[in-house]
Amino acid sequence: MMSRKERHKRPITSRNRRQVRLLFLITGCALGVLLLVWSGYGAHVVDWVLGTDGGGRILHHKGTDATQSKGSDSSLDRNTVNGSAEDNIQVEQWLQTLTLDEKIGQMFLVHLSALTAEKPNQALSNILHELAPGGVILFKDDIKTVGQTIEDNVQMLRSSRIPLWIGVDQEGGVVNRILFAGDWNGNMAIAATGQPQLAKETAFETGSLMQLLSFNLNFAPVADVNDDPYNPVIGLRSFGSEPKQVSAYVRAYVQGAHKSGMPAIVKHFPGHGSTRTDSHVGLPQLTYDLKRFEQVEWLPFKAAIEEGVDMIMSAHIQVPQLEPKTTSSQKDGSLITIPATLSSRVLTDILRDQLHFQGAIITDALNMKAIADHFGSDEAAVMSIQAGADVLLMPPKPHQAIAAIHKAIEMGTLTEQRIDESVRRILHLKLKYKVTNAKQASQLNVEQAIGKAQSFIASNQAQGLMKRIAEQAVTRWGTESIANQPSMLITSSMNQVLLVGHDSVSLEALQRALVAGVKERRDAANKEKEGPEAANGNKKRSVETEVQVSKLEDTGLSDAIRAADAVVIVTNDVYRQPRRIRLLEKLIAQLEQLKKPVAVVAVGLPYDAQALANIPIGYVIYGLTDSNVRAAARVLLGRAAALGQFPVAIAGLP
């Protein structure tokens, strides 16, 4: 039997135990909520309970000023990176270890020359270590040989305090940075095949090469719809003029990049395909309304977002129907419309909120005149972050830009929270793609890495794909039936073929390809004839066909034509030159009178087919890569058919 004291003591002990259990339960719940918030997911729960959108704004009032997103005060919904809770926790832990300087540095992707120009008396390795940028971008002059490229890249990875992006513009075609790996087809050549799968294969092969060379970022593909023949900067870099077609190829390219293990980056939002100014040298403007952008320019970007594209690059273009705000140019004080790269309406309200892009937004190069002339390094850096950009590409003066960002934070026009939003996205991508850190780089066997890359290039695996694309891209037009293929213009009995054109580079490239093709055909024919009669000295050999070149304006052109058995007219965007078009029309009429076999080879954009629509036979090859001109030679020699299709609309042609 318990005493009265004991009977009173027992309930008190039981109550204490219940209180302790309750305390543990409350603490556990609190820790769970904190963990969720820390990982980026709890914010949504809090928002749901409070009825806000993550930035303190009341939900269900779209279209009011209260919901207009600002780059410096964007919502947590928009800034939560898609990823596992574990990844988000790792990113948060990583973020907490970084100083403000290091976080700002992560937003910079610099060119090495800009660093040495600012601090000419310091070694590049010291500048990189001090600045700790998020990444660097290399160009042709930085990429000379396999060994040098890998050694330099690995050294930068080893000396970086934070895993480093090493990027390159390896689009293929006219933007080919890695010359020792051979020529790569451009996007328009790929689209001319009619097979999006080839874009996926190209992206996979490109990504495989990038990683073997210790690159981890490639700024491709171009997603612009090139529907203006007079666009000076996109052209062959585009998959074409039809939005749905471009979307299919962009989607396939993103898939191929991801399959190779590389991030995919599409450019240039909100669309650079219809401008008539090159943003490298001026500030373009597109006056289209919202409906046009939604129906044309944005379709490929939407496809890329659906496919999980990692970064989207902005365009330095004025779009007054989307962003009407103006500012004074530093160049001459004139009023200019704020370019898309610096517009929160374009980058945040449209790209983030309307199109639901959750990856990283990267600016186009900030040293381009469209930005550098009118804003300068410091103002452009601050404005692009305020607009919603996460990565600043190639600011002309990186240290000056960083100082401007610090000043903006001190003045309250930027916040560290806004910096954190961008750095989260950057770190998430570096974690996702396992960007090599300094310790891993120090353990890398450089000689072995060089050997693997050299073996990949020597295998011609990628070049075999390029050859296949180039041959399937060749597109025929003209008054003669295209059903009769292959069509041999240059027969084995011809003594001389004349190439006529206005561009020396194009003429020389096709001449080399034809000389090699003629020799290959002759050797094959002679080999077939080798047999019992060769032993008796009766072996017959094919005619040695010479390939001559004349410029369109040469005074001796008429004599050269009379001496030739066939004439190939070589054009390179001659549609832009009305005077030369008239000369070519006159020349073609002369050749028809002489009954000379003639064909046109358009080595650039396919719009030459529109300017010369009434010729007997013409072929578009979509570029001057080795594979493009070799494909043209094979068609002219009757060894391949031209079965490609026009990726752009050509007036007067099907």
CA–CA dist 272, 622 (Å, integer): 20
For residue 533, the model assigns a pLDDT of: 53
Mean pLDDT of 606-615: 95
What are the two backbone dihedrals, phi and then psi, of residue 571, each rounded to the nearest 5 degrees? -120, 155
Q: Do both 144 and 228 map to the same domain?
A: yes
CA–CA dist 474, 633 (Å, integer): 11
Q: Do both 418 and 485 map to the same domain?
A: no
Mean pLDDT of 381-409: 97
Residues 290-299 as b/e (b if ≥16 CB within 10 A, e otherwise) read eeebeebbbb
pLDDT at position 13 over 50: no
Place of tokens 């080795």: 626
Q: What is the 3-state secondary structure (H, E, C) of 300-345?
A: HHHHHHHCCCCEEEECCCECCCCCCCEEECCCCCCEEECCHHHCHH
Q: What is residue 361's three-state secondary structure?
A: strand
- Residue at 467: amino acid letter: K
For residue 486, the model assigns a pLDDT of: 78
**Quick one: tokens of 442?**
């120090």
Residue 128 located in a structural domain:
yes
Place of tokens 């270890």: 97
Residue 13 located in a structural domain:
no
pLDDT at position 52 over 80: no
Q: Which residues contact 372 (CB under 8 A, 6 or more apart)?
A: 366, 380, 396
Choice among 364, 378, 573, 608 that is catalytic: 364
What is the domain extent for residue 617?
Answer: 474-527+543-637
CATH code, 568: 3.40.50.1700
Domain boundary among 429, 457, 485: 457
pLDDT at position 474 over 60: yes
CA–CA dist 351, 266 (Å, integer): 13
Nearest to 392 by CA among 124, 131, 74: 131
Residues 369-405 as b/e (b if ≥16 CB within 10 A, e otherwise) read ebbbebbbbbbbbbbbbbbbbbbbbbbbbbbebbebb
pLDDT at position 60 over 50: no
Q: Do both 410 and 488 map to the same domain?
A: no
Residue 195 located in a structural domain:
yes
Is residue 34 very low, low, confident or very high in pLDDT (cuts 50, 70, 90)?
Answer: very low
Average pLDDT of every residue of the chain: 88
Lowest average pLDDT, out of 7-16, 140-149, 225-234, 299-308, goes to: 7-16
Q: Do both 619 and 555 map to the same domain?
A: yes
pLDDT at position 58 over 80: no
pTM, rounded to two decimals: 0.86
**Quick one: tokens of 612?**
């010369």
CA–CA dist 433, 502 (Å, integer): 47
Helices 196-212/446-458 angle, 10° precision: 150
Q: What is residue 383's three-state secondary structure?
A: helix
Residue 383 located in a structural domain:
yes
CATH code, 163: 3.20.20.300
For residue 522, the model assigns a pLDDT of: 86
Q: Do both 300 and 247 map to the same domain?
A: yes
Domain boundary among 432, 457, 482: 457
Active site residue 280: yes
Lowest average pLDDT, out of 53-67, 318-332, 595-609, goes to: 53-67
Residue 229 located in a structural domain:
yes
Q: Do both 452 and 481 map to the same domain?
A: no
Is residue 627 very low, low, confident or very high in pLDDT (cuts 50, 70, 90)?
Answer: very high
For residue 514, the model assigns a pLDDT of: 97
Q: Do both 239 and 387 map to the same domain?
A: yes
Q: Report the Cα–Cα distance between both ends of the chain, in Å, rounded.
A: 106
Mean pLDDT of 405-424: 98
Choice among 73, 280, 420, 626 that is catalytic: 280
Q: Is the distance from CB of 365 to CB of 314 less than 8 angstroms?
A: no
Q: How many domains does the chain divide into?
A: 2
Is residue 524 very low, low, confident or very high in pLDDT (cuts 50, 70, 90)?
Answer: confident
Q: Do both 253 and 339 map to the same domain?
A: yes
Mean pLDDT of 78-89: 71
pLDDT at position 1 over 50: no
What are the two backbone dihedrals, phi and then psi, of residue 314, each rounded to the nearest 5 degrees? -85, 165
**Quick one: tokens of 261?**
């293990």
Q: Do both 413 and 521 map to the same domain?
A: no
CA–CA dist 392, 362 (Å, integer): 6
Q: Do both 99 and 208 map to the same domain?
A: yes
Cα–Cα distances in angstroms (integers) from residue 419 to residues 39, 77, 120, 128, 424, in the given order? 17, 16, 29, 20, 9
pLDDT, tens digit, 9 for 90 and up, residues 250-283: 999 999 999 999 999 999 999 999 999 999 999 9
pLDDT, tens digit, 9 for 90 and up, residues 131-185: 999 999 999 999 999 999 999 999 999 999 899 999 999 999 999 999 999 999 9
Q: Is the distance from CB of 649 to CB of 245 less than 8 angstroms?
A: no
pLDDT at position 287 over 70: yes
CA–CA dist 497, 511 (Å, integer): 10
Q: Do both 403 and 497 map to the same domain?
A: no
For residue 198, the model assigns a pLDDT of: 98
Mean pLDDT of 29-33: 48
For residue 625, the model assigns a pLDDT of: 96
CA–CA dist 213, 204 (Å, integer): 14
Q: Do both 342 and 392 map to the same domain?
A: yes
How does DSSP assign 579-606, residue by residue? HHHHHHHHHHHHHHHHT--EEEEE-S-T
